[in-house]
Amino acid sequence: MKFYNSVGPNPHMVRMFMAEKGFDVPKVEVDLRGGENRREPFLKLNPSGQCPALELDDGTVLAEITAICEYIDEIKKDTPSLMGDTPEERANTRMWVRRIDLNILEPALAGFRFSQGLKFFQDRVHCIPEAADGLKEAARKKLVWLDGLMGSKPFVAGDKLTMADILLFTFLEFLAKVGQPLDPANRNLTAWMERMKARPSATA
């Protein structure tokens, strides 16, 4: 197998997931800033032109971070599942992954691309600069909502670390670097972030 790695939160999320699972494969660095991901031969591997990607031994290429992580979770059975041990637990994890991705990460990242990241992204994706502030505000409101639901739970989906935690943590770390830090008034999420930062996998 080969893992096509680059800068950015998406590869970081998968690297942290792999570290939690004790899953290590050779890495191929892709020059995202230089546009290597948007031209051949990378486009033959992943026509969406995005990183990361996982090339399997039979030549199959998996893209999309949740798909890659679910695959790793299924084949690496000697470590605790980060999806869940029962159909109910797996459904709960996927529910939280969807909520986080759709309600927090998508608007926050679009807000970044349309403002601080505009110079880099304007020739790569369709950008709507006038929507940036509203998208960021929508993400902030959902973080407040999530903070209220966290309460004293140690992890987003309940009592165990799941993909939902890794997804949210790695992207919030990235967003903090590009003008969207987590509001410390979100005390439950702030405490959760500190617990996540203390995990050895956080620096993967």
* Domain boundary pick from 55, 75, 95: 75
For residues 133 and 171, state if they share a domain: yes
Axis crossing angle, helix 163-177 with helix 187-197, rounded to the nearest 10: 100
Domain membership of residue 36 as a residue range: 2-75
Do the domain assignments include residue 82? no
Phi, psi values for residue 87, rounded to 5°: -55, -35
For residues 71 and 138, state if they share a domain: no
For residues 67 and 91, state if they share a domain: no
For residues 100 and 56, state if they share a domain: no
What is the Cα Rg of the chain in Å?
17
What is the pLDDT at residue 19? Answer: 98
Distances (CA, A) of 182 to 2, 8, 139, 143, 148: 34, 18, 10, 8, 14
For residues 202 and 62, give the distance between their C-alpha atoms in angstroms, rounded to a whole number.
23
Overall domain count for the chain: 2
What CATH number does residue 159 fall under? 1.20.1050.10
For residues 76 and 80, give the distance between their C-alpha atoms in angstroms, rounded to a whole number.
9
What CATH number does residue 57 fall under? 3.40.30.10
Cα angle 119-4-69, degrees, rounded to a multiple of 5: 100
For residues 97 and 194, state if they share a domain: yes
What is the pLDDT at residue 102? Answer: 98
pTM score: 0.96
For residues 115 and 197, state if they share a domain: yes
Distances (CA, A) of 190 to 72, 141, 164, 184, 195: 29, 15, 16, 6, 9
CB 165 within 8 A of CB 155: yes
Do the domain assignments include residue 81? no
Do the domain assignments include residue 80? no
For residues 110 and 64, state if they share a domain: no
59: which DSSP letter?
Answer: S
For residues 125 and 175, state if they share a domain: yes
Residue with tokens 């159909």: 87
For residues 16 and 203, give the distance between their C-alpha atoms in angstroms, rounded to a whole number.
7
For residues 18 and 1, give the distance between their C-alpha atoms in angstroms, rounded to a whole number.
13
What is the pLDDT at residue 204? Answer: 84
What is the residue-level pLDDT of the chain in tens, covering all 204 positions?
999 999 999 999 999 999 999 999 999 999 999 999 999 999 999 999 999 999 999 999 999 999 999 999 999 999 999 999 999 999 999 999 999 999 999 999 999 999 999 999 998 899 999 999 999 999 999 999 999 999 989 999 999 999 999 999 999 999 999 999 999 999 999 999 999 999 999 998
- 116-119: list long-range contacts, CB under 8 Å, 24+ apart: 116/178, 116/179, 117/178
What is the pLDDT at residue 5? Answer: 98
